[in-house]
Amino acid sequence: MNSPSNQLFDAYFTAPAMRSVFSDQGRVQGMLDFEAALARAEASVGLIPADSVAPIEAACNAELYDFAALAQAITAAGNSAIPLVKALGKRVAAQSSEAERYVHLGATSQDAMDSGLVLQLRAATELLEQDLAGLAEALAVQAERFADTPLAGRTWLQQATPVTLGMKLAGVLGAVTRHRQRLAELKPRLFCLQFGGASGSLAALGDQAWPVAEALARELDLNLPDLPWHTQRDRLVEFASLLGLIAGSLGKLGRDLSLLMQTEAGEVFEPSAPGKGGSSTMPHKRNPVSAAVLIGAATRAPGLVSTMFAAMPQEHERSLGLWHAEWETLPELCCLVSGALQQALLVVPGLEVDAARMRRNLDLTQGLVLAEAVSIALAQRIGRDAAHHLVEQCCRQAVKERAHLRAVLGANAEVSAQLSAAELDRLLDPAHYLGQARRWVDRALAEHNAFSR
């Protein structure tokens, strides 16, 4: 259950399904799933009586436990598994004193907590994969739709040469596709059983240790790693790093969208809805409220990722404090990214685009953004240095006289001797200076389609 302090902002920053995965119930159920699977695995190799499994399984239901009591007990125990295993044992004993003897046999607290976490992360990645796939498809549709729609490229926040809106969206699509590839690649490394007992050797299980480990991995449908990873945390940090990358790419989308929504630009907008983006005092406002979540998540994520990195040099075979630093950090990262993805999924399919405003904004410099096109064309006839100098002079004249560059070029005898009026018109048309923009869109779409098959 969410604490009261989270309820106001959870709906804005976190997807409900992801919050459910990392709720108290989700955490406890992950550990209980480990305990139930451990009993089945040990029974399957003859280590414990088969009739002890049913009472243990019946007690492995998170709804049976008092989370408030567990939380209080954690303050003395130092982790969540110790009081949970005690409570589990009592509940099993109420049904079978014989079965209670075999609860948690040969495992350690971190085995239950880490393996339970991995089960949560598996559910979390399913949600992430669904949302990333949905976002990729929405970006693909919009990139194709606006593949040939010119807008001003901007470098150092100043107008540069023209690009297309489709090219800009294709850039985000490419990043999302790579994140989907990364997630698929790391899943075999992430979805690994944690099972090593007190110090990682599984000595308590004697000769049955390896058969139990194999059976437990099968029961949980997790990979059996080369050895326990109690203090080797690279798997979790790799996943955290990917979450940071996803947050950063979504932040880039949010940043650009918010800039395009500025009054002075007014080119692309979040979809409108009743009550969305308003101001408490200014009725005219249309604020980029979804972009704010994307930027906010991208701002918070690096600190959380750095905490995961900082927690890597864990002492010997069980860490003091560094392991503890992970417990809330990784779930918070998952929740942050899930919320950002939800906002992106709201925004991208319904983008409101003002292509006419884009074209007008391209004309704000009165042709100066296309000076490069003229310079390159002239360079083929009079040489690079001479062409650059000539066009630079014309640009200065246009600025000084507040004239359109086309008029200045057309009136310049040196330019007119080399370029006809029709050539100048074409060179100063943004739609004719889009370079490989269409190709970039097509390549991003091809990569997306290849991965999505």
Which amino acids are annotated catalytic? 279, 318
DSSP 8-class letter at 272 = P
**Which tokens is 448 given?**
């997306």
Q: Are the C-beta atoms of residues 192 and 229 closer than 8 Å to each other?
A: yes
Phi/psi of residue 64, each to 5°? -85, -5
- Tokens of residue 25, six digits: 């119930």
Q: Which long-range contacts (CB under 8 A, 24 or more apart) does 51-56 make?
A: 51/99, 52/96, 52/98, 52/99, 52/101, 52/102, 53/99, 54/99, 55/92, 55/95, 55/96, 55/99, 55/100, 56/88, 56/92, 56/99, 56/102, 56/103
CA-based nearest residue to 39, from 250, 186, 220, 160: 220
DSSP 178-198: HHHHHHHHHHHHHSB----TT
Dihedral angle of Cα 370, 375, 381, 384, to the nearest 10 degrees: -160
Residue type, position 270, single letter:
E
Q: In whole angstroms, give the CA distance from residue 453 to residue 445.
A: 12
User: Please, are residues 252 and 299 in contact by the beta-carbon 8 Å criterion?
Assistant: no
Instruction: For residue 443, give the nearest of 170, 184, 194, 251 by alpha carbon.
Output: 170
